[in-house]
């Protein structure tokens, strides 16, 4: 059993910084219309420790603050003195923990029930890569993962299995909704915002006519430019 105050000062400082960051990033979910009421969650791996921080279960977004963020081990267990005793971690904690254990390159995970992306999940249909934005961010289609019940690591297994050989940082878990990953929680939140944006645009476009695919060579070029050239480096 891990006690926060028994860890090194560097780790304690990293936990505090991660709790503040994760609490702040949760503001982006309702601000971008990705969640309702208490649904959805953001988590981030704690640098230098086998720990991550996640939203508490069933707590409204306007009640979130760094001190209520839950600190967990990579097995998904809440650590002893990281959070007030009455607060339990998100019901999706096991899924997040599984991703962190099996995808060491992932530093952040986000789950939402955003309307258009979840609509694609409801019909078990990938979001087709028909937009340059999708080439940039997702490297093609946004895939659909298997149906899984909340409560154990089944959802996590589906996320990892679907994304392990994919360039996409997003997966639409069947009948459930999108999960996104990133090098940190900021990148995962960005992917959550982007997957809803492209899902909405593609859904509207389908109502206007036939979708026109982008050649794979152009998708590859877009992805390479966006990932390696776009923006400020260093």
CA separation for the pair 195, 197 (Å, rounded) = 5
141 given a catalytic annotation: no
Check 50, 61, 136, 226 and give the catalytic one: 136
Give the residue among 142, 102, 146 at the shortest CA–CA distance from 126: 142
Q: How far apart are the first and last CA of the chain?
A: 39
Give the residue among 167, 123, 130, 165 at the shortest CA–CA distance from 144: 123
Strand partners, 122: none
Strand partners, 44: 53, 108
Check 67, 75, 81, 230 and give the catalytic one: 230
CA separation for the pair 34, 192 (Å, rounded) = 8
230 given a catalytic annotation: yes
Burial class (CB in 10 A: 0-12, 13-18, 19+), 215: exposed
Which helix (H) or strand (E) segment is 182 a member of? strand 177-182
Known catalytic residues?
Answer: 136, 230
């Amino acid at each position: 059993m891990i006690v926060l105050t028994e860890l090194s000062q560097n780790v304690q400082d990293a936990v505090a910084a991660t709790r503040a960051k994760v609490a702040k990033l949760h503001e982006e979910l309702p601000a971008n219309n990705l969640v309702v009421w208490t649904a959805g969650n953001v988590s981030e791996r704690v640098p230098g420790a086998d720990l991550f921080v996640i939203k508490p279960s069933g707590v409204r977004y306007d009640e979130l603050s760094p001190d209520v963020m839950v600190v967990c081990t990579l097995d998904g267990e809440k650590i002893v003195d990281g959070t007030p005793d009455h607060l339990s971690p998100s019901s999706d904690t096991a899924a997040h923990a599984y991703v962190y254990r099996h995808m060491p390159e992932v530093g952040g995970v986000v789950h939402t029930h955003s309307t258009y992306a979840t609509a694609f999940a409801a019909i078990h249909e990938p979001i087709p890569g028909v937009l340059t934005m999708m080439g940039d961010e997702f490297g093609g289609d946004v895939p659909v993962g298997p149906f899984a019940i909340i409560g154990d690591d089944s959802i996590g297994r589906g996320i990892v299995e679907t994304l392990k050989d994919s360039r996409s940082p997003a997966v639409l878990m069947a009948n459930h909704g999108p999960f996104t990953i990133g090098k940190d929680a900021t990148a995962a939140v960005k992917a959550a915002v982007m997957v809803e944006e492209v899902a909405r645009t593609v859904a509207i476009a389908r109502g206007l006519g036939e979708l026109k695919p982008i050649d794979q060579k152009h998708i590859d070029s877009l992805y390479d430019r966006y990932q390696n050239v776009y923006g400020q480096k260093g």
